[in-house]
Structure 1
Amino acid sequence: MMLTLATLYIMNFFFATVESNVSIGLLRKTGRKPKPTGYGNRPRGVPFARGPFYATGETFACVDNSKSIPFSQVNDDYCDCPDGSDEPGTSACPNAKFHCLNRGFKAEDLPSNRVNDQICDCCDGSDEWDSAVECPDICNELGAKYREEIRQKTELAKQGFVKRTELVAAGQQLKIEKLEKLKALKKRWMK
């Protein structure tokens, strides 16, 4: 089969278009820049406590100290470190974790295979930073609901404590009354 130059050009255009829109079978954002990370100087997906491991410099040492790589290879969607520490913000390493900041709610760590999988796992949508899905930031709403539930549970616990205190006082009074009756009965029997 002989391919013409026009056919090759069309095939090349088609594959280039598909390649620019698809990454490992998942649709990527086209023409949009990812949202700001909110992670400060840390790479995307790194929790605050692990920030010192990711101090920006010339090289990055894998957290397990197995090897060093250029810092430009952190979050490049290729797993260089055996422990997956060089890909905290992508799904490249199967054993890595992605940290959702979830400001306004509770931060959480996700398995890295949930990053850019077209499903909004983080309430702030930070896990879908390079997918075609637009995730709404619902952390404040979830946080408000969670804080209201905690407030209600706290109020219920306070009411329970007040009731318990009342019952303890009533029980102590009842004990005193019963001991006095017992004392009176013993006196009567001793006569």
Structure 2
Amino acid sequence: MMPTSLLMTEKEMSRALSRMAHQIIERNKGCQDLVLIGIRTGGVPLASRLQEKIQEIEGRQVPLGILDITLYRDDWSLAVQQPVVRETKIPFPVDNKTVILVDDVIFTGRTVRAALDALTDFGRPRRIELAVLVDRGHRELPIQPDYVGLTVTTLPDEHVNVRLREIDGQDEVVLERPS
């Protein structure tokens, strides 16, 4: 068992997502021409929660999509022999929209790079912004999030685990350290 530290409680996660929703609305002067796309796996429930919070604030629903980046990763051939590809569901045009890509944690930036590559198969957004619950640093690519719930300093061998009630049955963010 790895030693862990609690970084965010359920309440802190909710507050961070509320703040991020307000920042998204403020930066975009409302939610006109705005779409949310969650990166599988953790980004999908977070995008859904942002969608709910934006609707509470603005009184209108922002379209929500799901993006699977498995075949766009630059490391998939190293990870497994047969990658498991899950459904991508973007049932709306992204052309000339502001796309908010949503993920749980940003680390090296490689997941986001893969998501950008995958997104271009669906059209040409006017702008793409990135929202992440946790930024843990250690970028290998020049990619920075626009909206961040929590910035935490980590060591490269530590792991940030975002637990979501939709997947794990509870909401919390923990830092796991090697023994």
Give the TM-score, by structure 2 length: 0.23
| Higher gyration radius (CA) | 1
More strand by share: 2
More helix by share: 1
Give the TM-score, by structure 1 length: 0.22
